[in-house]
Amino acid sequence: MKSAIILAGGMGKRMKSVKPKVLHEVLFKPMIEWVYDAAIKAGIEKICVVTGYNREMVEAQINGRADCVWQSEQLGTGDAAMRAMDFVRTLNDEDDVLILCGDAPLVSSGTISEAYNKAHCGNKNDVTVFTAILSDPTGYGRIINDSKNDDVITDIREEKDATDVERQIKEINGGSYWMKVKAFKMLLPTLKNNNGANEYYLTDIIKSANENGMKAGRYLSGDAGELEGANDRAQLLSLNEHARDMLFTKHMLNGVSIIDKSGITIGPDAVIDSDTVILPGTILRGKCVIGTGCVIGPNTLLENAILGDGVTVNSSQIYSSKIGSGTRVGPFSYIRPDCVVGEKVKIGDFVELKNSTLGDGTSVSHLTYIGDSDFGKKINVGCGTVTVNYDGRKKYRTKVGDNAFIGCNTNLVAPVKIGTGAYTAAGSTITVDVPENSLAIARERQTIKTDWMIKTRENNKDVPASENI
C-alpha cells in the first residue's frame, strides 16, 4: 500500500497574510489541493497532513479527507515529518510512504508514479529524493551524488551550510521523497539539529541512510517547474504563470483553440471539449465542463458551470449552473447559481437569472430578471420583465407554461402561474394565475389631460430651469 504525508505547517511570513502558505491559490485553487489531488490520482490510499500555523484553516480545507497532525513549533521539515510518526506506525514496514510539500503544487501524478516505479522500486531504494537541474540553484539544497553512480545520493547540503564548491552544483533537492516505511521509522529519529538554523532537516535522512547501510537514490525530474514552491507573492505569481501555460498547452493539444492568451485564466479542474474557442478575457474557475464547438468570451467568467455543445457565452458571468446545447448567452448576462437552461435558448443583454429553469427554445432577450422561477419551452419574454419573487420575508416561485408570451415590462408577482400558450399585455402587473391560452391585461386605462403641460409651465415660471425638471 502507498501512503503520503503532506507537509503543510508553514506560516509563509513573506506572504504577509493571515492564511497559511499552503492555502494561497494557484489558478484559484489552494496549493494544498493541487498536491492532495496529485497524490490521489497517483494511487495514494492514505494521507496524513501535517499542520502548523493557523491549523484550523488547513483542517477546514481538508475537511476530513485525510488524517491531520499538528506541528506546534516550526522546528524544520524533519520535525514536521516526525509529527506523522504515529500515522506511519499504522503502516506495514514493507509499504512505501511519499512525503510531499504542500507549497509545491505543480508536482503531477505522473511524476509521482514515475518516481515510484522507475527510481524507487526500479533501483530498489530505501529512500528516493525528487531532484531537478536548475541553471540558477540559489536557495535550494544541493544534491551530493556518489562518485561512481549518479543515481545514488550520499548527502543533501542546504545552501546555508554548503561550501563554495557545493554551491556550484546545479542539481537541487525538490523537497519530495519516497521512503520505505521501515526506513522512515528508523531514520527520522536519528535527525539532529546541529546546523546553522538549529532545525531538524529532512534532507539529513540521506546521509543517515548511507550511514545505516540503506540505499538512497534520486528521481531526476525532466520538468524542474513541477518542483517549484512559493515563499512570497512574486514566486506565487511565477507558479500561476507556469501553471497557466501548462494548462494552455494541455487544452490546445486536446483540440481547444486559444486565439490570444490575453487575460485568459483556466483553472486546473476545467474540462473543455475539442473545437471550442476561448477568447481573451475569459476566466474559468472551479469544475467547469464545456462541450464541443463552444465559443467562450471575450470577457467572460464561468465558475462551476456545465455547458453543452455549441454554446456561445459573450461578456457574461455564469455560476454553478447548467446551460444546454446551442444556447446563446450575452452580452452582459448574469446567471447566478442553481439555474438550468435548456437547449437553443437565447439569453440576451442585461438579463439576470437566479435559481430558475428555462425550457428549450425560450427567448429572454434583454433587460429582464427571472428569479426562483420555472419557465417552459418556446416562451418569449419581453424586455423589462421581472419576476417579483420576494415579499420581504419569503421567496416564492413563478411558473410559466410552454409557448407563453410575456409582454414587455410585465411584473409577475409570485407565487403566480401563467398557463400554456397564455399572453400577458405589456406593462401588466400579474398577481392572479392566468389560464392557458388566455390574455391577461393588468393596467389602468390611459387618461389624457389636455393642455396639462401648459398649465404646469405657467405655475412654475418663476422656478429656475435647473429646478424645473
User: For the segment 299-332, what is each residue's pLDDT rounded down to a tens digit?
Assistant: 999 999 999 999 999 999 999 999 999 999 999 9
Query: In 408-440, which positions are buried (b, 16+ CB within 10 angstroms) versus exposed (e)?
Result: bbbbbbbbbbbbebbbbbebbebeeebeeeeeb
Same fold, 2-227 and 253-440: no
Given the residues 24, 120, 251, 366, the one annotated as active site: 366
Work out the mean pLDDT of the chain and round it to a whole number: 94
DSSP 339-400: -EE-TT-EEEEEEEEES-EE-TT-EEEEEEEEESEEE-SS-EE-TT-EEE-B-SS-B--EEE
Checking if the pLDDT of 244 tops 50, the result is yes
Q: Could you tell me the three cell numbers for 411?
A: 411584473
Contact 400, 383 (CB under 8 A): no
The pLDDT score that the predictor gives to residue 69 is 97
Domain 2-227 sits in CATH at: 3.90.550.10
pLDDT exceeds cutoff 90 at 151: no
pLDDT tens for 403-458 read: 999 999 999 999 999 999 999 999 999 999 999 999 999 988 878 888 888 887 88
Stretch 391-413: mean pLDDT: 97
Banded model confidence at residue 161, pLDDT cuts 50, 70, 90: confident
Is 200:214 a contact under the CB 8 Å cutoff?
no
Domain locations in the chain as residue ranges: 2-227, 253-440
* Residue 469 binned pLDDT confidence (cut-offs 50, 70, 90): very low
Confidence of residue 462 (pLDDT cuts 50, 70, 90): low
pLDDT exceeds 80 at position 460: no
CATH fold for domain 253-440: UDP N-Acetylglucosamine Acyltransferase; domain 1 (2.160.10)
Among residues 294, 251, 292, the alpha carbon closest in space to that of 269 is found at: 251
Predicted local confidence at residue 203, as pLDDT: 92
pLDDT band for position 468 (50/70/90)?
A: very low
Is 120 tagged catalytic?
no
